[in-house]
Amino acid sequence: MPGIKELAKREEQMTGGHRLCSGCGAGIMARQVLLAASKHKVICTSSTGCLEVATTIFPYSSWKVPFFHSAFENSAATCSGIEAAYQALKRKGKVDKDIKFIAFGGDGGTYDIGLQSLSGAMERGHNMLYVCYDNGAYMNTGIQRSSASPRGSHTTTGPSGKVSYGKKQYRKDLTEIMASHHIPYAAQTSIGNWRDLTTKVEKALDTEGPSFINIFTPCRLGWAYDPAITIELAKLASDTHYWPMYEVVNGEYKLSYKPKEKKPYKEFLQLQGRFKHMLKNEELVNEIEEEIERRWNRLLKLCGEEVQQ
């Protein structure tokens, strides 16, 4: 897989001049995905969301590759349509290039409203990569709760208040749902680890059939932190076991990253305004930490790793 020097030789497929927040994780995510993909000819679709809205404001587009957006809940279905067109036109000799397809969606457009469309596209086996950039809420519309929002987080539709600590539920495990589609490649990665991210994108694009990558992508606005620490925060999510990085290749689980030392979840929480109200609620934090460990240990077992007690 390519080293950073190799990536640096490639042509950038995304220009600056987009209107994402300063320090936006999605900008980093998209750049790295496209760098990893740039040895191929690619066509990208995106669901409605920050990434789409801020990078394509008429008449300015940051995308140097063909890019298509139609609506919020259907990045996967739309991409599957283009992929189907490719299959047909290639068969008829009207397209001669080898082309790869990448559909982007945020967690709102993927975990929630777009889940059906994604599930359908994966089940049908289109030759495409779906990238979910998970920032744990509907950021584009103003930080509303999604099923990817972590328990206890403050969102504008699941706010903390006098009698509530914010979101009651744990995050839905979308990567597991995708792995259950028995697609050839499903993985979870993070912008905190460019090497892991670009490696997984390359692997996914080299996979015949549908693939899915869930990318942890901090949002400075929704999470309320100093934008300079975007990468640091993403790293912490994995070092606290909150966001494990792993892949499922033809049903085989493989852990991609194991922190040398697990960091307390509180270290991740205390850097973000969305968890400010939780810090004094030790009982809640402990409970969440336990659940994180339960999920982590389950994953370790799936990956054939030794479970530490």
Partner 1 sequence: MAGDKVARTGNEAMAEAMRQINPDVVAAYPITPATEVAQLFSQFVADGKVDTEFVTVESEHSAMSACIGASAGGARAMTATASQGLALMNEMLHIASGLRLPIVMPEVNRALSAPINIHGDHSDTMASKDTGWIQINCENSQEAYDSIIQAVKICEHPDVLLPAMVSDDGFIISHCMEVIHMLSDDEAKKFIGEYKPERFLLDVDRPYTLGALDLQDYYFEHKRQEIEAMNKASKVIVEVGKEFGKKFGREYGLFEEYRMDGAELVILVMGSTAGTTKTVVRELRKNGIKAGLLKLRIFRPFPFKELSDALRGAKALAVMDRSDAFNSFGGPLFEDVRSSLYDLEKKPLITNYIYGLGGRDIGLDAIKGVYDDLKKMTETGKVEQVVNYLGVRE
Partner 2 sequence: MAEIKKKGWKELAHGDVLEAGTAAEFETGNWRSERPVRDMNKCISCLICWINCPDSAVILKDGKMTEEFDLKFCKGCGICAKVCPPKIQAIKMVPEKKSGK
Q: Does residue number 19 form part of the binding site for partner 2 (CB under 8 A)?
A: yes
Nearer to partner 2, 147 or 238 (CB): 238
Which residue, 121 or 288, is less far from partner 1 as judged by CB?
A: 121
Among 30, 35, 36, 82, indicate the residue that binds partner 1 (CB under 8 A): 82
List CB contacts of 208: < 8 A, sequence separation 6 or more: 127, 184
Alpha helix locations (H) across the chain?
4-9, 25-37, 50-55, 75-91, 107, 115-124, 174-179, 194-206, 220-223, 230-239, 265-269, 282-302
Q: How many CB atoms lie within 10 A of CB 180?
A: 13
Closest CA to 51 of 38, 39, 67: 67
Q: Compute the half-sphere exposure of residue 189: CA atoms within 13 Å on the CB side of its CA.
A: 25
Does the footprint of partner 1 cover residue 104 (CB under 8 A)? no
Phi, psi torsion values for 287, nearest 5 degrees: -60, -45
The entry of partner 2, partner 1, none near residue 22 (CB within 5 to 8 angstroms by kind) is partner 2
**Contacts with partner 2, 225-244, as mask; x by CB under 8 A:** -xxxxxxx------------
189 binds partner 1 (CB under 8 A): no
Specify the residue, 69 or 277, whose C-beta has the smaller distance to partner 2: 69
Give the Å distances, CA to CA, from 291 to 89, 169, 295.
49, 11, 6
Measured between alpha carbons, how far is 230 from 217 in angstroms, rounded to an integer? 8
- Contacts with partner 2 by CB under 8 A: the residue count is 46
Among partner 2, partner 1, none, partner that 282 touches (CB below 5 to 8 angstroms by kind): none
Q: What is the largest CA-CA distance in the chain?
A: 65
Beta strand 60-61 with 56-57 is antiparallel
Cβ nearer to partner 1, comparing 70 with 297: 70
Minimum distance from residue 238 beta carbon to partner 1 (Å): 33
Per CB under 8 A, 41 contacts partner 2: no
Contact pattern for partner 1 over residues 39 through 78, marking x by CB under 8 A? --xxx-x------xx--xxxx-x-xxxxxxxxx-xx--xx
Supply angle C-alpha 229, 129, 5, rounded to 5. 50
Any contact of residue 21 with partner 1 (CB under 8 A)? no
- Tell me which residues touch partner 1 (CB under 8 A): 41-43, 45, 52-53, 56-59, 61, 63-71, 73-74, 77-89, 91-92, 94-95, 97, 99, 116-117, 119-121, 123-124
